[in-house]
Structure 1
Amino acid sequence: MNGSAPGTPAALDIQLKRGPAGLGFNIVGGVDQQFVLNDSGIYVAKIKENGAAALDGRLQEGDKILAINGHKLENLPHSAAVELFRNAGEDVQLRVQPKSQLTANGPATSRGDGDSSSSVLPLIAIGVATVILGFFVCKRLFGSRRPF
């Protein structure tokens, strides 16, 4: 019916009204930027405080967004999904598969604060790589004669 595994409860339909700051959440994923291994779906990365999604209360970080205004988000690059959200209008209908209903690819752990360590790891890796690259660039520019 909606592509869910047998026994999975139906997806949740959420109607949001775009506020001054938009819909109030960020998305990740897509065929070119998979957020979940072997899944090119679009996921809620962050709910913005006092935004439309936070005030509604049903959309949660980690939820998979299946469709927006009837447009399925399957097999789309991230940029195409972002454009659908930007052009969705003031009243937006989301079809969502809550995080608790998703099949996990890793260990079944629960994080009560909604934080996802998998979204922090790439930031840490980029930071470490930047420091290392900066070190080598400085060493190359100034040579090994100058102490740091």
Structure 2
Amino acid sequence: MNGSVAGGGYAEEIISLTRRPSGLGFNIVGGTDQQYISNDSSIYVSRIKKDGAAYLDGRLQEGDKILAVNGKDLKDLRHKDAVELFRNAGCDVSLKIQRRLQPQNGPVGHQSHGESGGLPLAAILVPGLALAATAVWILLRYRQRM
């Protein structure tokens, strides 16, 4: 991702799109009058339209929070005012977005402090393989003596 990691598991990115005849190619939800998330009046991408500018670019995702359009902050706007801002943004549109980062899987057996769960796979697999190898060795030695 071409952006910076903000505190709390979020990343911000600037995405530049060129408007197509059909528009920017995505729908939005939210605003002070139509909150998408309770107690959050932010503007979010609700749908990426197939073959639209956002879809062809590939970086904008459903669920992304749009923080600014062409440098204009979207904070505390009514839904219709946000829509109007997008409509009047011109041909080349710069979006500042925020995306929640998905947890990444670490190496097998890796656990963070405070993380609950059972034994890591390696703690079970390694002794099990050692036991199986020992059993095979004993069986082969036993068959050799017969």
TM normalised by structure 2 equals: 0.63
Residue deviations 1:7-39, cap 9 Å, x none? 545411000000011000000000000001111
Identify the residue that residue 91 of structure 1 maps to in structure 2: 92
The answer to whether structure 1 residue 20 and structure 2 residue 8 are counterparts is no
More strand by share: 2
Name the CA distance, whole Å, in 2 between partners of 1:69 and 1:47.
19
Give how far 1:95 is off: 0.2
Aligned residues: 98
Q: CA deviation at 1:41?
A: 0.2
Whether the 8 Å contact between 1:60 and 1:99 is mirrored in structure 2 is no
Partner of 2:70: 69
Please report the TM-score for the alignment, with normalisation by the length of structure 1: 0.62
Which structure 2 segments of 5+ residues have no match? 103-146
Measured in 1, the distance between the counterparts of 2:100 and 2:36 equals 13
Instruction: Find the aligned partners of 2:90 and 2:67 in 1 and give their Cα distance.
Output: 18
Instruction: Look at both structures and tell me which one has the larger radius of gyration over its CA atoms.
Output: 2
* Percentage of identical aligned residues: 63
1:57-114 residue CA offsets vs partner (Å, 9 max, x unmatched):
000001000000000000000011000000000000000001437xxxxxxxxxxxxx
Alignment RMSD? 1.7
Moved over 6 A (4+): none
Please list every run of 5 or more consecutive structure 1 residues that lacks an aligned counterpart in the other structure: 102-148
Q: Is the 8 A contact 2:11 2:99 kept in 1?
A: no
1:31 aligns with 32
Tell me the amino acid that sits aligned with residue 29 of structure 2: V
